[in-house]
Structure 1
Amino acid sequence: MRTICSSNMKLSAALILLLHSLGTVAQFVHDITYVIGCFENTTTTVEYEFDGEEILHIDDDRQEVVYTVPAYLMPDPAHIFGDLHIYRNALKAKRACVGVVAYCKVEGIDPEEVKDPPESFIYPEDEVVLGLENSLICFVNHFFPPSINVSWTKNGLPVSEGLSFSQYYPNNDQTFHRFSTLMFTPSKGDVYSCTVEHSALETSKTRIWDVEFPKSHQSLIADVYCGVGLCLGLLGVAVGTFLIVKGLHH
């Protein structure tokens, strides 16, 4: 069962403050969406979105508001949103979620849960350079319910250090996406894998990434010379064959 309550507030007090902080003229209409996700496993998600992009969410484990709006746009978002009692309201929303789920069960509003299997991709954050620390990102998208397990291996062995996980982010179609990041130092021949487990999958899904390095400038030059030499050689063969055939016809 999906129970996601949302409300759009156009040009509210919070929105006006945000627009002022960005130096935007208030005549343009933007949306701030307050999203509350309620789930039967007692999981609750609370976040604010500005024109579809997250600007903050509640971290239950740390019991605080996490601002995700870029610092160059808003250096001190807590100053803007501090008077809105966001965390206190999130706690109220969480308590309300319990009642909403209970009500749905009592009223029989409990259809079979729709499950969407995840898609996953693995890629490096930066250009891969031998011996230079980098990050591998496993991007898992379009899954529901928001509960997945992501694990990593290096050369077939489990990896437990250097890992970090993002929160679950909602998509417009009410599915979710999440990032898992592995810090690593690339070495030739290393092979990494990211395995995703989800209730909508019959078996786990694994993506594999092996360390590849772009060719050096000298190597590229050598390849160019080799290619040019091969072309000239083939051209010489073609010309010689043409002359021989022509001579046979005289």
Structure 2
Amino acid sequence: MLMVLSSPLALAGDTRPRFLEYSTSECHFFNGTERVRFLDRYFFNQEENLRFDSDVGEFRAVTELGRPDAESWNSQKDFLEDRRAEVDTVCRHNYEILDRFLVPRRVQPKVTVYPAKAQPLQHHNLLVCSVSGFYPGSIEVRWFRNDQEEKTGVVSTGLIQNGDWTFQTLVMLETLPQSGEVYTCQVEHPSVTSPLTVQWRAQSESAQSKMLSGVGGSVLGL
């Protein structure tokens, strides 16, 4: 192999223009869904001028420089069909191979329960079950009142993606709390072997005052 090395001074004096052309192929997997997006992107001098997007199904010019290639490649039906198929033949195919060697990532949810408003008992209220920071996105959240499942009056925000590859959701129960009732939010998720449960007890203001008085007396007695 023959290598010719140029000194920095020689390179600095070379004012001939240099051009760089390259392309990237990208597979985008949307967390918690079956959706996959394939991108084929073409660059000239660090500026993208042409791309194929599987969501669009054809080549699109990003700049005028890419327009001739976009028109030419879109007219070649076999070539275009091969690109459209790469979301399966490249992205999903490679994912299935790699997935065999990956340890499934699982993050346990954090569950809290609280009333939406500081309402007295026997007034309509929303009990909120906040489930956050979990992965994967498959989850089941149920409400119980005195160990009986509540199916009416249950509303949910649905699955919300966080910016750290985890999810959150709020599942709310519209109810008329009575003194002594016990409400339970039950969460089932692949990260735990048994359901997570968090309870909220309906207490009258007098009962809450007695409890706080007892706590205060205990602290003062120390």
* Range of TM-score over shorter length: 0.5 to 0.7
Return the letter of the residue paired with 1:129.
Answer: P
CA distance in 2, matches of 1:118, 1:214: 31
Cα pair 2:180 2:202 within 8 Å, conserved: yes
Asked whether 1:201 is paired with 2:192, we answer yes
Question: Match for residue 37 of structure 1?
Answer: 30
Matches within 5 A, 1:70-85: none
Secondary structure of residue in 1 paired with 2:104:
coil
Secondary structure of residue in 1 paired with 2:205:
coil
Question: Match for residue 141 of structure 2?
Answer: 150
Residue deviations 1:141-174, cap 9 Å, x none?
Answer: 1110001011111111111110112121122221
Question: Match for residue 72 of structure 2?
Answer: none
Asked whether 1:136 is paired with 2:127, we answer yes
Matches within 5 A, 1:46-195: 92=55, 99=88, 100-106=91-97, 111-195=102-186
Residue deviations 1:183-226, cap 9 Å, x none?
Answer: 0011111110000000010111000101123349xx89xx9xxx
Residue deviations 1:127-150, cap 9 Å, x none?
Answer: 131221100010001110001011
CA distance in 2, matches of 1:124, 1:185: 11
CA distance in 1, matches of 2:199, 2:144: 9
CA distance in 2, matches of 1:207, 1:142: 16
Question: Match for residue 239 of structure 1?
Answer: none
CA shift for structure 1 position 108: 6.1
Return the letter of the residue paired with 1:145.
Answer: P
Cα 1:134–1:105 change in 2 (3 A) is same
Instruction: Output the aligned Cα RMSD.
Output: 3.5
Q: Provide the TM-score with structure 1 as the length reference.
A: 0.48
CA shift for structure 1 position 106: 4.4
Cα pair 2:121 2:202 within 8 Å, conserved: no
Return the letter of the residue paired with 2:114.
Answer: Y
Question: Match for residue 53 of structure 1?
Answer: none
CA shift for structure 1 position 96: 9.7
Secondary structure of residue in 1 paired with 2:30:
strand
Cα pair 1:124 1:136 within 8 Å, conserved: yes
**Could you say which structure has the larger radius of gyration?**
2
Cα 1:187–1:172 change in 2 (3 A) is same
Q: Provide the TM-score with structure 2 as the length reference.
A: 0.53
Question: Match for residue 240 of structure 1?
Answer: none
Cα 1:97–1:195 change in 2 (3 A) is farther
Question: Match for residue 45 of structure 2?
Answer: none
CA distance in 1, matches of 2:179, 2:86: 50
Cα 1:96–1:163 change in 2 (3 A) is farther
